[in-house]
Amino acid sequence: MSNLFHLIILLKMSIKIVIRKAKTLVKVLVCWIVFPLYKRQGTPPILSIEETLKQVVSYQLSVTRFGDGEFLQLIGKDTGLQKNDIRLQEKLKEAILNRNPRLLVCLVDFLDMNNKTRHGKMSFAFFYVRTYKHIKKYLDAGYQYGNANMTRFYIGSKDKSHCGRYFSLCKAIWEGADIVLFEGDKTRFGVGNNLFDNAKSVRRVLCPSKHAFMYYDQILAQAKLVERNCLILFSLGIAATVAASDLANEGFRVIDIGNLDVEYEWYQSGANRKTAIEGKQVSEVTGGAKVEDIKDAVYLSQIIAKIGIKG
């Protein structure tokens, strides 16, 4: 009787999952169909990925990036890693309107369908149709935006021959730099690969992988303790977007570096789809959030603080 009960529960859960996925698929298909009508709204000027990276390197700019999650938060929607928060919405509005000359505000170019996989094209259309009409009022046709996919250019591309050049440009951002990295407690950015081999030093502040904005004041206070000659990197979801803007206004150089490390891991392995990565949290794939503790001595020695993390 107990086994039968558990079987019924599993069946109900499976049916709910199938229904939820079916609803999402229908929404995506509808957005794809109506996308040609919506895209007439256009977008403000957005640099290419390569142009963005070259500007960041040449002019030593800070970077704040707006993608799917940030746009959804702006219109009052929850995302998987961050609950909607009124204060966060206001901070995002400040960041997207920030015109500090040392900060490059970056947007996803949803209308750029060149070199995108079919999944990538449909994803772009889905988010453009859902969000653009709501966030358009925050955009400035007279501002030259950077490309938010400066850290997300491998897995969604059909032709991946350009990716090695892009990763080299990314590495040039921290050439010879003392890095202080704010990241999720299971992110382990650069661990097990050579992304940071050309940096002078790396220190880490571990923060919650989910709902990090709950600890935003503590995170910002910790970041303000960093020496001004250091480069601060944030791999912390939507909290990174607002932190980069706030800290740039305080005179720090900050890069919202996003999921570049995950993209680099996929690039090195030659992956053609999103896959789990051993020892690192990858929230976008099934089972990717379950990772074991790490015993890497170098990594552990780099941790200088923990915020909102037990142990």
Instruction: Tell me: do 67 and 158 sit in the same domain.
Output: yes
Q: Note the pLDDT of residue 266.
A: 97
Number of domains forming the structure of the chain: 2
Backbone angles phi, psi at 184, to 5 degrees: -65, 155
Expressed as residue numbers, the domain containing 140 is 42-306
What is the tens place of the pLDDT at every residue in 162-218? Answer: 999 999 999 999 999 999 999 999 999 999 999 999 999 999 999 998 889 999 999
Same domain assignment for residues 32 and 79: no
9 and 114 co-located in one domain: no
H runs (alpha helix) in the chain: 2-38, 49-59, 68-74, 86-96, 118-135, 163-173, 216-223, 238-249, 260-269, 297-302
Average pLDDT, the chain: 90
Element (H, E) at 255: strand 253-256
Average pLDDT over residues 118-133: 84
First to last CA, the chain: 42
H or E segment and range at residue 233: strand 231-235
Shared-domain flag, residues 34 and 47: no
Does one domain contain both 181 and 124? yes
Asked whether residue 311 is domain-assigned, the answer is no
pLDDT at 134 over 80: yes
Residue 286 has pLDDT above 80, yes or no: no
Whether 204 and 183 have beta carbons less than 8 Å apart is answered as yes
Q: Name residue 254's beta-bridge partners.
A: 232
State the amino acid at position 256 in one-letter form: D
In a domain? residue 240: yes
| Same-domain pairing of 18 and 133 | no
Asked if residue 243 belongs to a domain, the reply is yes
Identify whether residues 12 and 133 lie together within a single domain: no
Looking at the domain assignment, is residue 76 inside a domain?
yes
The answer as to whether 96 is a domain residue is yes
